[in-house]
Amino acid sequence: MDNINWLGLVAILMVMAIVFPGAMPHLRRSPWLRNAAIWLAALTGLIFLYQTFGPF
């Protein structure tokens, strides 16, 4: 039980931070949710490129 999958835990927390506010109607009009999703997608893409092609 001492071994925790930190990457999975962080991924779940990031998804919760994006999905839960989007489900609340009074928060849908603010642009921060869209901006957070864009930054998260860009960061994920950069991490994927780094892991695929190795250190430059």
Does residue 25 fall inside a structural domain?
A: yes
CB 18 within 8 A of CB 37: yes
Tally the domains of the chain.
1
Q: How far apart are the first and last CA of the chain?
A: 36
Please say whether the beta carbons of 19 and 36 come within 8 A.
Answer: no
Choose among 15, 7, 16, 9: nearest CA to 47. Answer: 7
Amino acid at 41: A
User: Has residue 42 been placed in a domain?
Assistant: yes
> Which has the higher per-residue pLDDT, 24 or 13?
13
The answer to whether residue 44 sits within a structural domain is: yes
pLDDT at position 36 is 78
Q: What pLDDT, on the 0 to 100 scale, is given for residue 1?
A: 46
Q: Tell me, yes or no, whether 15 lies in a domain.
A: yes
Instruction: Note the pLDDT of residue 10.
Output: 80
pLDDT of residue 2: 60
Q: Which domain holds residue 15?
A: 6-53
Domain for residue 1, yes or no?
no
1 vs 4 pLDDT, higher one: 4
Which band of pLDDT confidence, cut at 50, 70 and 90, is reported for residue 28? Answer: low
- The verdict on residue 10 lying in a domain is yes
